[in-house]
Structure 1
Amino acid sequence: MDSLAEFSSVTRDRRPRRNAVQAVTAGAVVLAVAAGGAYAAGLGPFERDTGPDPAAAEQARAFLADWAAGRLPSAAGRTTSPGTAQRVLDSFTAGLDITEPELKAKPATEAEDGTVTVPFTARMPVEGLGTWTYESKLPLREQSDGNWKVDWTLSVVHPRLSGTEKFRLEREETEPPEVTDREGTALSGAQFPSLGPVMAQLGGGGGGTGPRGAIHLVDRATGKVERTEARFGARTVREEGPVRTTLDAGWQTAAEKALAAHADGKNAALVALRIDDGEILAVANSPSSGFNRALSGTYAPGSTWKIVTTSALLLKDAVAPDDVVDCPKYLTVGKRFQNVELSAHPGATFRKDFTESCNTAFISLRDRLDDGELGEVARRYFGVGQEWHVGAPSYDGSVPVPKDETEKAASMIGQGRVQANPLIMASVTATAVSGTFHQPSLTEGDTEGHTEGHTEGDEDTTRTTPLPRGVVAQLREMLRATVTDGTARVLSDLPGEIGAKTGTAEVSDDQDNNGWLVAHRGNVAVACVVEEGVTGGGSAGPVVRALLGAAPADSE
């Protein structure tokens, strides 16, 4: 192993400026492979006569995309020192047990000497522990052939990585906890494979704790710890006995069987929870080991996000279900947006736009919301972006203020930098049909275990406002119509008054779209994502249909 690229995992206690160029879309570009990839809005709608060369920022984003996707030879080839870069990137991710990084580029800046710098945020999931988040920068220089490359230094990977200091991962593992469902039925990873990584994060029974660990910065020569960069895992002592969860063995069984039968071997995840109190009934992932996509994934939610967009529009009286909002095949806002399969519905009502998931219609209404209004509605009424304490590590969503009109258009349809996962979208669905946000929970009477190691003494600090009854009634009616007359017809022959919304989320030019479906029946809300599932109805639809068809009586 290269001496400058050494990382180790230790287990202990086995217990120049350009004129007249078109600017790249302002704002951070999300490069999220663990979460299902990235959405690149393309060239922005405005021109400027000064600023960094767009080709430099493009090279930076490509480097981050390759690194996040594990295409390390390609990433290294975009640097001034490919051999060294590849060895360092490989040893960094492998030595620290990092799986599926998420890297978000920020706007580029240019120095007087022509060097371009692209800052970025790194979210590094450490297998079985949590997520290490930090900031770094990519320096880029124009080469003699006119191309831009990342000017390679160790600090590209992390600002504290150097020739004299490296990182070391230390784990403190304990025996897996005993876990039961809400009725006291024992749950095991052998019986419920999807719960393996989840149960390990709950904290142990019998006075034990869940997996703990830390990433230390150490002296390369002596191994002395210079500082601790991140800690993971709670150190609280629980009362004797198994960890009692809110899970339901019947729902969990149905969820795991539905994914096994209908995810077609693709990465997929789903969550089912009670509408009246947010208690989680099932968490399932495919594959069943490794990254917990259901709770910690970061995905563009696609058209399932139109539930939130519709709420924002209805709250403002900006549109009504019977208003005519045309649905053309294309709409250009800096880039060309289109509908799935190039569908069009001339003279459609807003209700029709919702049930047929018309992207262009929703984007045409963007001027009726202020730039930050969608994110404010998501936070205030749905709790998205607030800090959740579920009882296990979770990602709680992000809806940044759009940087330009193209990004605002994308956010209206759950793209751009909007990020969620099945946990968030199941909660969004529950809030939409009940009017009240209930922080999801996985363990009874326990608010510990939030992501990124913040687990001791955490309390529910979410603060939300109920949706008006009129808005809830309109949302329920449109969700129901999506099943009876729209894109969620895959659920139409199941018993019960099911409401649903499909979603198809762009990932990248070389990856198929992710498929989404959210639904509610009785007192249960469900959300499912299938990576590269192409369409929501065609991929996530059969999973949710199988779940609802086999699940026990809805939790009252």
Structure 2
Amino acid sequence: MATTPQTSTFSPSPRRRSRPVVRGVVAVAVVLGVVAGGAYAAGVGPFAGGAGGDDGPDPAAMREARAFLADWAAGRLPSAAGRTTRPGTAEQVLQSFTAGLDIEKPRLTAAAEPKEAGDGALAVPFTARMPITGLGTWTYASELPLRRQDDGGWKVDWRLSLVHPRLSDTAKFRLDREEAAAPEVTDRAGTPLTGEEHPSLAPLLGRLAGDGAGGEGGARGAVELVDRASGEVRRTEAEFGAKAGAAAKGDEPARTTLDAGWQTAAERALGEADGKNAALVALRVDNGEVLALANSPATGFNRAASGTYAPGSTWKIVTSAALLMKGAVRPDDVVDCPKQLVVGKEFHNVETSEHPGATFRKDFTESCNTAFISLRGKLADDELGQVARTYFGVGQEWHTGIASYDGSVPVPKDETEKAASMIGQGRIQANPLIMASVTATAVSGRFHQPSLTPGTEDGTSTRPLPEGVVGQLRDMLRATVTDGTAHVLADLPGEVGAKTGTAEVSEEQDNNGWLVAHRGNVAIAVVVEEGVTGGGSAGPVIHSLLAAEPADPS
């Protein structure tokens, strides 16, 4: 049996998955070195209080430890990393570890009490249960080091060993995966789907075939600790799957909700992203069934369903729904759109545009950040998150048939973060699967859990949007195509509605470009990393897809 080593990197770049009947090895590369945390406040220990520390550990330390573990488990890696002494390194390591080992939805449980770790630091023991796609759950114990900072707060004292005790500057983990047979998967009409014809599906076929977390269908694998320099296996940490020669599942192919034509068109459309990392999801408005899911590069990390991005101005769909439902604004109300607005920091519009005397409809179609931010006082701090969860299903647990990230809308920490949340920035996180669903909900009035396999469990609970609000959202989405920033889609036949988005990433990176759209019974979302603008980068992708598939799927 041939063996093909495949190594993941630190960046979000995808790693290659093994093909059926080929033994694939995935290495997790991690930045070397341990950096000390912030200075410890002299004379104030972690068990400060009565003499001898009888009052127990500082509750703030345990809260920070649990918050870090909760963020990591939920896939909020930027937020988790921000709780450490090395945010940049921490985010890269956590991303590489979970994506590189195919870990989905970790379950991390902290011990009830921390223990002193010397030099005023604390150590919080925790149990990690790491489900590895298609194989099983890897369970181990580790410790979370915490150190008090100069401001009196606590941070996780970042080091490699907190991720796993054996992760170090000389040893890393890799996943050795073996498939006994190629899974047989079809689209909704029974057309075979293969990794050769649909490369974006190659990493997902095993899961779509029902291999699940128990390693059914003959899937086998192991997590191995290897020497960084030589690649020599030091020890096997965990083994999964059926024994060699075990019978595979029955001969019946697994049917999905996908449409082979839409999937082909989606993968071709991503060619319009000019080689940038990008992802696309198209789904049915009436029931949430996914018609196409594509990534560029095609193999590796599933950005479309597992990515964690700021959705930028596409999130103004949710913000608008919250404002309209509350009666805080009407489409024809004048909401001025100045070039910039200061709320703790300066917020501005794309290319510092301005629209004096604009209506709220105009603010939406021109994606005016300052106008939306000026309305922040109309919503309670937790109201945007409540609307996202209650009406759009964002942040609830979805069962889509594959590993997916289901979104996060935290309560803002301050007025500046609240301003950012109004325009899909701050700590709001989503991906194309979520934003395609948001678009479908907005134009139909009802959330349907997205799914790629028939009969998936649905434990979500949502309410329908008011009919009048749905009509207003549809009108504004259509106007964004005919008279606004999504004019790139204006020449397409049919009643196409859309919303562009430009999401800031960092001072060192260009903005991500977003576009969501709907036509007939289909809703689509695209993100292009460092695409600069939504209309300029994601616009041609959606245009290509809708031009190639002019009719709704059956």
Q: TM-score normalised by the shorter chain: which range applies?
A: 0.7 to 0.9
Contact 2:225 2:234 in 1 (8 A): no
Aligned to 1:258: 269
1:126-158 alpha-carbon deviations (Å, 9 max, x no partner): 788799999975656999xxxxx9977553444
Q: Does 1:209 pair with 2:235?
A: no
User: Relative to 1, partners in 2 of residues 1:121 and 1:472: Cα closer, same or farther, differing over 3 Å?
Assistant: farther
| Aligned equivalent of 2:376, options 363, 366, 384 | 366
Distance in 2 (alpha carbons) for counterparts of 1:333 and 1:119: 40
Distance in 2 (alpha carbons) for counterparts of 1:325 and 1:305: 18
How far apart are residue 301 of structure 1 and its match? 0.6
Q: Which amino acid aligns with 1:545?
A: H
Aligned to 1:521: 519
**Mapping of 1:376-455 within 5 angstroms?**
376-445=386-455, 447=456
Contact 1:432 1:475 in 2 (8 A): yes
1:322-359 alpha-carbon deviations (Å, 9 max, x no partner): 11111111111111111111111111111111000011
Aligned to 1:464: 462
| Aligned equivalent of 1:196, options 202, 205, 214 | 202
Aligned to 1:335: 345
How far apart are residue 63 of structure 1 and its match? 3.4
Distance in 2 (alpha carbons) for counterparts of 1:131 and 1:367: 45
Distance in 2 (alpha carbons) for counterparts of 1:222 and 1:547: 48
| Aligned equivalent of 1:181, options 182, 187, 195 | 187
User: Relative to 1, partners in 2 of residues 1:215 and 1:365: Cα closer, same or farther, differing over 3 Å?
Assistant: farther
Aligned to 2:284: 274
How far apart are residue 281 of structure 1 and its match? 0.8
Q: Which runs of no fewer than 5 residues in structure 2 stay unpaired? A: 1-17, 24-38, 42-63, 107-116, 227-232
Aligned to 1:63: 89
| Aligned equivalent of 2:335, options 306, 318, 325 | 325
Aligned to 1:106: none
Distance in 1 (alpha carbons) for counterparts of 2:317 and 2:521: 18
Contact 1:127 1:290 in 2 (8 A): no
How far apart are residue 223 of structure 1 and its match? 5.0
Aligned to 1:489: 487
1:492-550 alpha-carbon deviations (Å, 9 max, x no partner): 01100000000001111111110000000011101001010000000000000010011
Of the structure 1 ranges 277-286 and 495-504, higher mean CA displacement relative to structure 2 is found in 277-286
Q: Which amino acid aligns with 1:484?
A: T
Distance in 2 (alpha carbons) for counterparts of 1:246 and 1:386: 21
Q: Does 1:249 pair with 2:247?
A: no
Q: Which amino acid aligns with 1:333?
A: V
User: Relative to 1, partners in 2 of residues 1:153 and 1:416: Cα closer, same or farther, differing over 3 Å?
Assistant: closer
Count of matched residue pairs: 472
Contact 2:218 2:248 in 1 (8 A): no
| Aligned equivalent of 1:503, options 498, 501, 511 | 501
Of the structure 1 ranges 523-532 and 392-401, higher mean CA displacement relative to structure 2 is found in 392-401
1:405-434 alpha-carbon deviations (Å, 9 max, x no partner): 111111111111111111111111000000
Aligned to 2:473: 475
Q: Which amino acid aligns with 1:476?
A: R
User: Relative to 1, partners in 2 of residues 1:371 and 1:131: Cα closer, same or farther, differing over 3 Å?
Assistant: farther
How far apart are residue 482 of structure 1 and its match? 0.3
Aligned to 2:310: 300
Contact 2:208 2:256 in 1 (8 A): no
Contact 1:36 1:507 in 2 (8 A): no
How far apart are residue 117 of structure 1 and its match? 10
TM-score (norm 1): 0.72
**Mapping of 1:4-19 within 5 angstroms?**
none
Q: Which runs of no fewer than 5 residues in structure 1 stay unpaired? A: 1-9, 19-25, 41-55, 71-91, 103-110, 144-148, 448-458
User: Relative to 1, partners in 2 of residues 1:504 and 1:395: Cα closer, same or farther, differing over 3 Å?
Assistant: same
How far apart are residue 39 of structure 1 and its match? 9.4
Distance in 1 (alpha carbons) for counterparts of 2:552 and 2:392: 23
Aligned to 1:357: 367
Distance in 1 (alpha carbons) for counterparts of 2:522 and 2:359: 29
1:267-323 alpha-carbon deviations (Å, 9 max, x no partner): 101011111111111111101111111111111111001101111111111111111
User: Relative to 1, partners in 2 of residues 1:141 and 1:528: Cα closer, same or farther, differing over 3 Å?
Assistant: same
Distance in 2 (alpha carbons) for counterparts of 1:150 and 1:39: 12
Contact 1:60 1:138 in 2 (8 A): no
1:23-75 alpha-carbon deviations (Å, 9 max, x no partner): xxx998x999xx999699xxxxxxxxxxxxxxx979532433564688xxxxx
User: Relative to 1, partners in 2 of residues 1:461 and 1:329: Cα closer, same or farther, differing over 3 Å?
Assistant: same
How far apart are residue 360 of structure 1 and its match? 1.0
How far apart are residue 264 of structure 1 and its match? 0.4
1:462-518 alpha-carbon deviations (Å, 9 max, x no partner): 111000100000000000000001000000011000000000011111111100000
How far apart are residue 393 of structure 1 and its match? 1.3
Distance in 1 (alpha carbons) for counterparts of 2:406 and 2:302: 14
Distance in 1 (alpha carbons) for counterparts of 2:363 and 2:137: 38
Distance in 1 (alpha carbons) for counterparts of 2:417 and 2:137: 27
Distance in 1 (alpha carbons) for counterparts of 2:474 and 2:540: 22
**Mapping of 1:9-158 within 5 angstroms?**
60-65=86-91, 67=93, 97=101, 137=144, 154-158=160-164
Q: Does 1:542 pair with 2:533?
A: no
User: Relative to 1, partners in 2 of residues 1:98 and 1:243: Cα closer, same or farther, differing over 3 Å?
Assistant: closer
Secondary structure at the residue paired with 2:488?
helix
User: Relative to 1, partners in 2 of residues 1:437 and 1:171: Cα closer, same or farther, differing over 3 Å?
Assistant: same
TM-score (norm 2): 0.72
Of the structure 1 ranges 484-493 and 338-347, higher mean CA displacement relative to structure 2 is found in 338-347
Distance in 2 (alpha carbons) for counterparts of 1:524 and 1:203: 25
User: Relative to 1, partners in 2 of residues 1:390 and 1:141: Cα closer, same or farther, differing over 3 Å?
Assistant: closer
Contact 2:444 2:470 in 1 (8 A): yes
Distance in 2 (alpha carbons) for counterparts of 1:121 and 1:313: 42
Distance in 2 (alpha carbons) for counterparts of 1:406 and 1:249: 45
User: Relative to 1, partners in 2 of residues 1:390 and 1:238: Cα closer, same or farther, differing over 3 Å?
Assistant: farther
Distance in 2 (alpha carbons) for counterparts of 1:252 and 1:384: 25
User: Relative to 1, partners in 2 of residues 1:534 and 1:255: Cα closer, same or farther, differing over 3 Å?
Assistant: same
Aligned-CA RMSD value:
4.8
Of the structure 1 ranges 325-334 and 167-176, higher mean CA displacement relative to structure 2 is found in 167-176
Distance in 2 (alpha carbons) for counterparts of 1:236 and 1:465: 45
User: Relative to 1, partners in 2 of residues 1:251 and 1:316: Cα closer, same or farther, differing over 3 Å?
Assistant: same
Contact 1:356 1:487 in 2 (8 A): yes
Secondary structure at the residue paired with 1:209?
helix
Secondary structure at the residue paired with 1:502?
strand
